[in-house]
């Protein structure tokens, strides 16, 4: 018994539900028995990881699905011990170097080398390379990324890298150029609807098309999210009705309330309240850019056309600086303060115009 999203995860390339051409290309890529380093990127819930696992299964057979979790401790040059957990099969190793925070460079250097320097003994029955799957590569520090460059070339014979990330904008050029980049776009609404209804069918449920559509839209083309929401709907109410309320994530609700608070009143006191709410979001590890985006979306709903552009530009400005800075709350708060100031001015000017 597990969540649908995990239960009905396809395990072979042929069973993938969408982006079939890409699946076919991947299969043919692997068919020859070798492939270059891959850089797989795409939005969350598009099926990157699923696709990678399918690819590995295609390459090594069912053996890759026997996974184990390993805890490795690596001693940094500064004598600091770094604990990191990896997921490994006999054929591959999955690691998220960004778990080590600022020491991700050490993880890359040490871990990758140990794996890459060991040769496969039985090359007749096995591939002569192992695969290292690095996730969240876009969270790697620049140092770590540079450490990756040389390793990628040096151990080409024994090791293939599959890098997985949401966006390649944060990946340095040299790495991009060393990899075959595979973009996994988010599934279309139709794709999601299709998957939802097929999953429901497997569960023995009937899903109204309208609800599926709404779920797909609400999920923001995130299939996993759509499936999770669908399951929540099932728990909430069955049989489904087309106009049934779609449950949201807690943080989404909270974020929307925050945005509403901003729009409803523009005072220093309110700014303080909003700050408290932003802190709450941040402590729940909601990424600040998501918060910014969520706020903007909600705020734009309450803005006039002329103001919209201004606010959107503002948001972009602050979001950019947020990436450059270190304390997200400052920038979020500055954005809110700016919005309040502009909004207040806009509203009062509008009132004045109406009066005179």
Partner 1 sequence: MDIRKFFGVVPPGKRQECEAVKKSEKVKNGEGESSGKKRGKETKVKSSPSEDVPKQKQAYKKKRIIYDSDSEEEAQSVKKAKQQTEKKVATPKPGKVLKQHPVVYVSETDEDDDFVNKRISLKPKENGTSAISSPGAATTKKGDVKPQAKTKPLSPVKLTPTSALDYFGTRSVQRSEKKLVASKRKEPSQSRDSTLDDEAIARQLQLEEDSELERQLHEDEEFARTLAMLDETPQKKKARRDSEEHAVLNVKSSPNVTERCKQSQRAKATNSAGEVKEQTRSENSKEPTLHPQSSDGKMARALTEKTLPLKPTSKLVALKQKEETTKKERGAQSLQSKEKNVMGKEEKRTPKKEKISPKKAESISPEDSEKRRNNYQAYRSFLNREGPKALGSKEIPQGAENCLEGLTFVITGVLESIERDEAKSLIERYGGKVTGSVSKKTNYLVMGRDCGQSKCEKASTLGTKIIDEDGLFDLVRTMPGKKSKYELAAETEAKKAETSHKKTPQKTESGKRNCSPLKREADRKKSNFTPEKGGTFKSVKKEAAAVRKLTDFKHQTVQKKEAPRPKGAVVSEGSENRTETLLWVDKYKPTSLKSIIGQQGEQSCANKLLRWLRSWHKHASEDGQAKPSKSGGKDDGTSFKAALLSGPPGVGKTTTASLVCKELGYSYVELNASDTRSKSSLKEVVAESLNNTSIKDFCSGTSSSVSGKHVLIMDEVDGMAGNEDRGGIQGAMMSIAFKEGLKIPPPAMNEIILAANQDIRQVLHNLNMWCAKDKSLTYDEAKADASRARKDIKLGPFDVVRKVFAAGEEASRMSLIDKSDLFFHDYSLAPLFVQENYVHVKPAAAGGDLKKHLMLLSRAADSICDGDLVDKQIRSKQNWNLLPTQAIYSSVLPGELMRGYMSQFPVFPTWLGKFSSTGKHERIVQELAMHMSLRTHACKRTVNMEYLSPLRDALVQPLKDMGADGARDAIAFMDSYCLMKEDIENIMEISMWGGKPSPFSKLDPKVKAAFTRAYNRDVHLTPYSLHSVKTLRRQSGSMGSSEPSEELNVEEIPSDEDEQDTVESDAMIKLL
Contact set for partner 1, span 80-139 (CB under 8 A) = 85, 87-88, 90, 96, 99, 114-115, 118, 135-136
Stretch that binds partner 1, among 64-72, 148-156, 173-181, 185-193 (CB under 8 A): 64-72
Compose the 25-44 pattern: x for residues touching partner 1 by CB under 8 A, - for all others: -------------------x
- Binding residue for partner 1, selected from 21, 68, 77, 355, defined by CB under 8 A: 68
Q: Which is nearer to partner 1, 177 or 320 (CB)?
A: 320
Query: Which stretch of DSSP H or E encloses residue 134?
Result: strand 130-135
End-to-end C-alpha distance for the chain, whole angstroms? 67
- Per CB under 8 A, the list member of 14, 348, 350, 351 interacting with partner 1 is 348
Candidates 26-34, 168-176, 188-196, 336-344; binding stretch for partner 1 (CB under 8 A): 336-344
- CA 77 to each of CA 82, 86, 137, 149, 155: distance values in angstroms, whole numbers, following the listed order: 11, 21, 22, 20, 22
Q: How far apart are CA 294 and CA 248, in angstroms?
A: 13
Q: Is the dihedral of CA 288, 289, 294, 297 positive or negative?
A: positive
Residues 243-272 that bind partner 1 (CB under 8 A): 247, 249-251, 253-254, 266-268, 271-272
Nearest distance, CB of residue 107 and partner 1, angstroms:
14
**Are the C-beta atoms of residues 161 and 134 closer than 8 Å to each other?**
yes
Beta-ladder partners of 6: none
Among 172, 263, 282, 312, interactor with partner 1 by CB under 8 A: 282
Residue 280's beta-bridge partner residues? Answer: none
Contact assessment for residue 140 and residue 98, using Cβ atoms and an 8 Å cutoff = yes
Site for partner 1 in 197-216 (CB under 8 A): none
Number of residues that bind partner 1 (CB under 8 A): 80
Query: Is 352 a residue that touches partner 1 (CB under 8 A)?
Result: no
CB 332 within 8 A of CB 318: yes
Q: Of the listed pieces 24-32, 150-158, 207-215, 338-346, which binds partner 1 according to CB under 8 A?
A: 338-346
Q: How far is the CB of 32 from partner 1 (least distance, A)?
A: 26
Q: What is the DSSP string of 12-46?
A: SGGG-SS-HHHHHHHHHHHHTS----EEEE--TTS
């Amino acid at each position: 018994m597990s969540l649908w999203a995990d239960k009905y995860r396809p395990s072979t390339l042929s069973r993938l539900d969408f982006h079939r051409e890409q699946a076919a290309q991947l299969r043919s890529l692997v068919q020859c028995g070798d492939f270059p380093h891959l850089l797989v990127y795409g939005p969350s819930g598009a099926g990157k990881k699923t696709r990678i696992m399918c690819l590995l299964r295609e390459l090594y057979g069912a053996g890759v699905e026997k996974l184990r979790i390993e805890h490795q401790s690596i001693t940094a040059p500064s004598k600091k011990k770094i604990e990191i957990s990896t997921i490994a099969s006999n054929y591959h190793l999955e690691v998220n170097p960004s778990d080590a925070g600022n020491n991700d460079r050490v993880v890359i250097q040490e871990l990758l080398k140990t794996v890459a320097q060991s040769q496969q003994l039985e090359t007749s029955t096995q591939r002569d390379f192992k695969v290292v799957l690095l996730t969240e590569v876009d969270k790697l520090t620049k140092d770590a990324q540079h450490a990756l460059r040389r390793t990628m070339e040096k151990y080409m014979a024994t090791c293939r890298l599959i890098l997985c990330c949401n966006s390649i904008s944060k990946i340095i050029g040299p790495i991009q150029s060393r990899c075959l980049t595979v973009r996994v776009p988010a599934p279309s609404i139709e794709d999601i609807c299709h998957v939802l209804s097929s999953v429901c069918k497997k569960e023995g449920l009937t899903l109204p098309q309208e609800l599926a559509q709404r779920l797909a839209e609400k999920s923001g083309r995130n299939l996993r999210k759509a499936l999770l929401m669908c399951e929540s709907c099932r728990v909430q109410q069955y049989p489904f009705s087309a106009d049934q309320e779609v449950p949201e994530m807690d943080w989404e609700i909270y974020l929307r309330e925050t945005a509403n608070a901003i729009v409803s009143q523009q005072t220093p006191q309110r700014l303080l309240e909003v700050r408290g709410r932003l802190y709450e979001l941040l402590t729940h590890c909601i990424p600040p850019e998501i918060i910014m985006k969520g706020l903007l979306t909600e705020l734009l709903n309450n803005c006039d056309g002329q103001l919209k552009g201004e606010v959107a530009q503002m948001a972009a400005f602050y979001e950019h600086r947020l990436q450059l800075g270190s304390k997200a709350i400052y920038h979020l708060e500055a954005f809110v303060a700016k919005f309040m100031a502009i909004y207040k001015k806009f509203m009062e000017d509008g009132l004045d115009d109406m009066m005179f």
